[in-house]
């Protein structure tokens, strides 16, 4: 262990020597051996008094050992205020002093502490216990301050995590002011899965909670034509060394270029938002938490216009959504993962208008269904066209009606010879065939 510095030891040693000098005075009034007597009792034995039982000639070995231990303990407590080295230095010197003199320094009873506490030792013990209690109280106070600081930091993190818009703050991290709270109508519209989602707005946060650094982005890394000099502001709220959000700004203009975020707080970035002229232009999302984007969104004027998804994680996009006028207009799906679209859903006024399907999964659309509204406003099938001959042309046409809570077939028309003319017409009631008309006699019997 390192020795305490000399400037610390010298004053402590001087203080202990001074304490030793003070302690030696009142311990005995007898002159040193061989000194001339100045007391009348020294020449007249008749004036001598019985020896005072409280006067002792010196400490014993046991008393010195006890005083040394008590002195070392008290010295270490006093030196603790100067750190571990101070505690070691003062404790060592005090222990040596106590072992040599038999007295306990700094106890407040130097004169009466008598050789290990034979006289006045109760007061020294009480003072030492008081010192211990004072030190414990100081430590308790320090622990309270630490707890208060941890609580304050937790409150700060909770404030950062709040999603509600906050009023503009001076010195925010270069983002646009928060939008006003949405109205009930706006909330209902956003809850509609067929409405175009609005571009996300970054939370307005003070720049003081971010760490800043300057970077140079090589050409092509962000699909950029040339090098970019950016200012990166990182937020690591949980202090795990992995930022929950990084915002990139152009060093010259200060314009926001990009935000990378860890939305699920697993230590891995899973959202990349690209900005043009301060507005969201595109987002790449990792929905499967594998570290790779599997959803791609584009925005115009703050509203989504397209979303493409790789649902099975094979690296190929298999679902495509298109929006116009703030509403979903079309879905295109590759349901079997063969790289070919096998289901298309078209919308009008956020309602299904037509569905096209490849029902036999041969890579070609072979069924077209038109939708209308039922008695309760629900979406119901009203007509289905099918390609049963696999030539790419519809040859069967079915009409449906809503009867009660059921959608029932009422008529089927068929082009059996592929000439583009209806050859057979079948009429149904309650879902059962009641009549069939055949335009080409050569087709009978069916």
Answer whether residue 81 shows pLDDT above 50.
yes
Compute the distance between CA of residue 369 and CA of residue 440 in angstroms, rounded to an integer.
Answer: 27
Q: How confident is the model over 124-137, as pLDDT tens digits?
A: 666 766 777 776 77
Answer whether residue 389 shows pLDDT above 70.
yes
Per-residue pLDDT, 191: 78
Compute the distance between CA of residue 141 and CA of residue 33 in angstroms, rounded to an integer.
Answer: 55
Residues 6 or more apart whose CB falls under 8 angstroms from that of 365 comprise: 342, 344, 356, 357, 358, 387
Per-residue pLDDT, 404: 85
Instruction: Rounding to the nearest 10 degrees, give the CA dihedral for residues 166, 169, 174, 176.
Output: 50
Each domain of the chain, given as residue ranges in start order, spans 8-24+61-149, 194-333, 354-446
Short-list 416, 394, 381, CA closest to 425: 416
Q: How confident is the model over 376-387, as pLDDT tens digits?
A: 889 999 999 999
Residue 318 banded pLDDT, cuts 50, 70, 90: very high
Compute the distance between CA of residue 231 and CA of residue 261 in angstroms, rounded to an integer.
Answer: 16
Question: For 173-187, 230-244, 268-282, which range has the lowest pLDDT when averaged over its residues?
Answer: 173-187
Backbone angles phi, psi at 307, to 5 degrees: -145, 130
Task: Taking residues 332-352, report their average pLDDT.
Answer: 96
Could you give the C-alpha distances from 4 to 1, 78, 90, 98, 290, in angstroms and in order? 9, 15, 9, 20, 56
* Angle made by CA atoms 253, 255, 258, in degrees to the nearest 5: 135
Write out the H or E segment, with its range, that includes residue 409.
strand 406-414
Compute the distance between CA of residue 158 and CA of residue 363 in angstroms, rounded to an integer.
Answer: 52
Q: What is the CA radius of gyration of the chain?
A: 46
Task: Taking residues 61-90, report their average pLDDT.
Answer: 65
Number of helices (H), then strands (E), in the chain: 6, 18
Per the DSSP assignment, residues forming a β-bridge with 216 are 229
Per-residue pLDDT, 335: 94
Answer whether residue 306 shows pLDDT above 60.
yes
Answer whether residue 94 shows pLDDT above 90.
no
Residue 31 banded pLDDT, cuts 50, 70, 90: very low
Compute the distance between CA of residue 295 and CA of residue 140 in angstroms, rounded to an integer.
Answer: 53
Per-residue pLDDT, 37: 44
193 vs 21 pLDDT, higher one: 193
Q: Does this model's pTM top 0.85? A: no
Per-residue pLDDT, 182: 65
Per the DSSP assignment, residues forming a β-bridge with 217 are 228
């Amino acid at each position: 262990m390192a020795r305490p510095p000399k400037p610390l030891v010298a004053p402590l040693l001087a203080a202990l020597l001074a304490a030793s000098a003070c302690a030696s005075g009142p311990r005995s009034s007898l002159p040193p051996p061989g000194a001339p007597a100045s007391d009348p009792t020294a020449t007249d034995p008749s004036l001598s008094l019985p020896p005072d039982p409280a006067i002792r000639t010196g400490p014993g070995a046991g008393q010195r050992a006890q005083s040394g231990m008590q002195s070392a303990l008290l010295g270490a407590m006093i030196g603790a205020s100067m750190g571990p080295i101070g505690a070691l230095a003062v404790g060592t010197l005090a222990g040596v002093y106590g072992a040599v003199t038999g007295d306990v320094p700094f106890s407040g009873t130097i004169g009466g502490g008598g050789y290990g506490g034979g006289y006045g030792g109760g007061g020294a013990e009480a003072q030492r216990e008081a010192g211990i209690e004072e030190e414990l109280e100081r430590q308790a106070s320090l622990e309270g301050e630490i707890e208060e600081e941890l609580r304050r930091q937790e409150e700060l993190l909770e404030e950062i995590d709040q999603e509600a818009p906050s009023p503009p703050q001076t010195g925010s991290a270069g983002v646009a002011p928060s939008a006003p709270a949405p109205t009930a109508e706006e909330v209902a519209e956003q809850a509609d899965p067929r409405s175009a989602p609005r571009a996300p707005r970054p939370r307005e946060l003070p720049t003081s909670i971010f760490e800043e650094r300057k970077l140079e982005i090589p050409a092509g890394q962000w699909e950029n034509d040339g090098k970019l000099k950016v200012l990166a502001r990182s937020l690591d709220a949980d202090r795990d060394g992995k930022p929950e959000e990084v915002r990139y700004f152009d060093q010259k203009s200060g314009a926001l270029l990009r935000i990378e975020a860890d939305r699920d707080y697993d230590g891995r970035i899973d959202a990349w938002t690209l900005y043009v002229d301060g507005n969201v232009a595109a987002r790449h999302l990792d929905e499967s938490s594998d570290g790779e984007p599997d959803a791609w969104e584009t925005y115009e004027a703050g509203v989504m216009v397209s979303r493409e998804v790789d649902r099975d994680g094979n690296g190929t996009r298999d679902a495509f959504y298109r929006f116009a006028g703030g509403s979903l207009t079309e879905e295109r799906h590759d349901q079997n993962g063969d790289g070919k679209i096998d289901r298309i859903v078209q919308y009008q006024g956020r309602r299904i208008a037509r569905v096209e399907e490849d029902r036999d999964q041969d890579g070609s659309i072979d069924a077209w269904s038109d939708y209308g509204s039922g008695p309760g406003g629900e979406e119901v099938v009203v007509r289905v066209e099918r390609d049963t001959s696999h030539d790419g042309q519809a040859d069967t046409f079915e009409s449906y009606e809503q009867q009660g809570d059921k959608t029932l077939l009422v008529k089927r028309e068929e082009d059996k010879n592929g000439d583009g003319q209806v050859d057979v017409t079948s009429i149904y009631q309650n879902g059962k065939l009641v009549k069939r008309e055949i335009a080409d006699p050569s087709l009978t019997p069916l």
